């Protein structure tokens, strides 16, 4: 493999080109890094993933391994945000800021292509929580209608429904998946057996942040659609880590955040709404772009982006993150996340410790949780960071969530730390 001496040479930052786009929209197409092309053609090994790790600025003394909560941005993405923010501060005129319309469209189009959907079905909002609440508050429901939830959903995909139910006399039913390691068929039946005549919405989290369990979304969607049930999926723990085809999954709507596994800019979120559903969902926020009391001039899912002044630099930099994902390849990223997670779980299992998360990659993904004694999770997590330089969390136990900036050495270091603190 060709030696790469400069970190900037690998997946080179498009920030300069983006600034050039301020003068000419013809520069919006960013070429792939020739260094990366060379690395890809030579095959992917640990040297390649070391090169990926070098695209992040964190220190080896404090290794991030909590992608379920927050990831560092790619270095070039952070540079783009800084450069474009400085550009706005240098000239905040509407004339200068006009270029961001094209950059936002570019980001939206790149994301839509990755997810195999139309750009008119994509809204770039602020985070998963906002996207979940747009669906929660926007769907028309009648008193007595039922919403079926997974009890392991994120609060913005659970508690938010409780609040709406209390306001509008709706019924919420929460489903618990079996504590033992169930099969895909058992998982589907756990939900489908609860479908009733008043069930109108099935709202799920693709991968639980409190157990690491992965739900069989395609199968659940098919079962729900057979009963005419709307399916919303919180994809916060998969976007940027899993190769996703939302058209194939056939979800009605899907939410996620760029600050997690996507390793993109902060305070940018994703909301996908299937074209056939856009008109049936009311926007939560009405800002410029609405032509009358009930009509909007915004095309498709853009009506959900009507949020007032936004961080234009972050929205533009999302396009940089999308290009980086394309260059590495979403499928390759998914394979690496599974490899790291399986190495981590295997190492913890070999210590004789109990995992909350299923060992099987069919039933789990990148969120890995080790069972801890009640009240001990925070102390173990804090000591893992202070004494071993591995940043995790105490969610559901001791949670570690590795992704592509983590190396095999990082995983082994985490296992060594867990051994020292928990055995």
Selected residue with higher pLDDT from 11 and 74 = 74
pLDDT band with cut points at 50, 70 and 90 for residue 268: very high
Selected residue with higher pLDDT from 177 and 81 = 81
CA angle, 131 as apex, 126 and 135 as ends, to 5°? 155
Phi, psi (5° rounding) for residue 91?
Answer: -150, 95
Question: Quick check: 10 pLDDT over 90?
Answer: no
What digits encode the pLDDT tens for the residues 179-226? 776 788 999 999 999 999 999 999 999 999 999 999 999 999 999 999
Share of the chain above pLDDT 90, in %: 84
Classify residue 267 by its DSSP letter: S
Strand, coil or helix: 61: coil
Q: What is the pLDDT of residue 288?
A: 82
What digits encode the pLDDT tens for the residues 358-401? 999 999 999 999 999 999 999 999 999 999 999 999 999 999 99
Q: Six-digit token pair at 362? A: 């069919």
What digits encode the pLDDT tens for the residues 115-151? 999 999 999 999 999 999 999 999 999 999 999 999 9
Q: What is the pLDDT of residue 403?
A: 98
Average pLDDT over every residue of 39-67: 89
394, 339, 416, 413: which is closest to 66 by C-alpha?
394
Q: What is the pLDDT of residue 397?
A: 97
Phi, psi (5° rounding) for residue 347?
Answer: -65, -40
Q: Six-digit token pair at 135? A: 């669906």
3-state helix, strand, coil in the chain (%, to 5): 45, 15, 40
Q: What is the pLDDT of residue 39?
A: 54
Average pLDDT over every residue of 225-231: 98
Q: What is the pLDDT of residue 297?
A: 78
Least confident of 40-49, 92-101, 105-114, 343-352: 40-49
Round to the nearest angstrom and report the end-to-end CA distance of the chain. 41
Average pLDDT over every residue of 165-169: 96
What digits encode the pLDDT tens for the residues 236-262? 999 999 999 999 999 999 999 999 999
Q: What is the pLDDT of residue 54?
A: 97
Residue 62: alpha-carbon gap to chain centroid: 23
Average pLDDT score, the chain? 90
Question: Quick check: 96 pLDDT over 90?
Answer: yes
Average pLDDT over every residue of 328-354: 98
Selected residue with higher pLDDT from 10 and 66 = 66
Alpha-carbon gap, residue 101 to 28, rounded angstroms: 12
Q: Six-digit token pair at 330? A: 């979403």
Question: Quick check: 2 pLDDT over 50?
Answer: no
Share of the chain above pLDDT 70, in %: 88
Q: What is the pLDDT of residue 290?
A: 78
Selected residue with higher pLDDT from 184 and 328 = 328
What digits encode the pLDDT tens for the residues 72-90? 999 999 999 999 999 999 9
Alpha-carbon gap, residue 304 to 130, rounded angstroms: 10
CA angle, 246 as apex, 243 and 249 as ends, to 5°? 95
Residue 246 region, left (φ>0) first, then alpha (ψ -120 to 50), else beta? alpha
Average pLDDT over every residue of 43-71: 95
Q: CA torsion angle for 123, 127, 128, 129 (degrees, to 10)?
A: -120
Question: Quick check: 33 pLDDT over 90?
Answer: no
Q: Six-digit token pair at 52? A: 């990926």
Least confident of 54-58, 165-169, 292-296: 292-296
Strand, coil or helix: 123: strand
Q: What is the pLDDT of residue 11?
A: 40
């Amino acid at each position: 493999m060709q030696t790469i001496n400069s970190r900037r040479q690998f997946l080179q930052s498009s920030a300069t080109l983006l600034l050039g786009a301020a003068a000419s929209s013809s520069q919006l197409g960013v070429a792939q890094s020739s260094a990366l092309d060379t690395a890809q053609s030579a095959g992917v090994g640990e040297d390649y993933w070391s090169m990926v790790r070098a695209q992040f600025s964190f220190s080896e003394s404090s290794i991030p391994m909590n992608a379920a909560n927050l990831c560092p941005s790619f270095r070039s993405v952070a540079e783009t945000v800084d450069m474009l923010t400085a550009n706005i501060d240098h000239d905040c005129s509407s004339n200068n800021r006009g270029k961001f319309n094209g950059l936002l469209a570019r980001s939206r189009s790149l994301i839509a292509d990755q997810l195999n959907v139309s750009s008119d079905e994509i809204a770039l909002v602020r985070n998963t929580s906002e996207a979940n609440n747009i669906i929660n508050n926007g769907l028309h429901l009648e008193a007595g209608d039922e919403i079926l939830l997974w009890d392991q959903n994120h609060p913005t995909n659970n508690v938010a429904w409780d609040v709406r139910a209390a306001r509008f006399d709706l019924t919420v039913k929460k489903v618990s998946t079996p504590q033992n390691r169930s099969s895909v068929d058992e998982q589907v039946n756990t939900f489908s057996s609860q479908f009733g005549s008043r069930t109108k919405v099935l709202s799920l989290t693709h991968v639980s942040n409190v157990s690491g369990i992965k739900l069989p979304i395609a199968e659940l969607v098919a079962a729900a659609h057979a009963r005419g049930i709307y399916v919303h999926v919180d994809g916060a723990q998969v976007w940027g880590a899993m190769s996703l085809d939302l058209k194939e999954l056939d979800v009605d709507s899907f939410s996620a955040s760029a600050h997690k596994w996507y390793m993109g800019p902060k305070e940018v979120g994703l909301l996908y709404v299937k074209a056939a559903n856009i008109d049936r969902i009311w926007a939560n926020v009405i800002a410029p772009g609405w032509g009358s009391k009930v009509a909007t001039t915004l095309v498709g899912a853009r009506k959900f982006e009507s949020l007032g002044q936004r961080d234009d630099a972050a929205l533009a930099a999302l396009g940089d993150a999308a290009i980086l994902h394309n260059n590495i390849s979403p499928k390759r990223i998914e394979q690496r996340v599974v490899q790291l997670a399986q190495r981590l779980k295997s190492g913890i299992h070999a210590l004789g410790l109990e995992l909350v998360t299923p060992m099987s990659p069919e039933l789990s993904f990148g969120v890995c949780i080790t069972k801890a004694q009640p009240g001990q999770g925070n102390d173990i997590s804090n000591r893992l960071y202070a004494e071993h330089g591995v940043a995790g969390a105490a969610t559901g136990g001791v949670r570690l969530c590795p992704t592509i900036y983590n190396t095999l050495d990082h995983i082994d270091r985490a296992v060594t730390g867990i051994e020292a603190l928990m055995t």
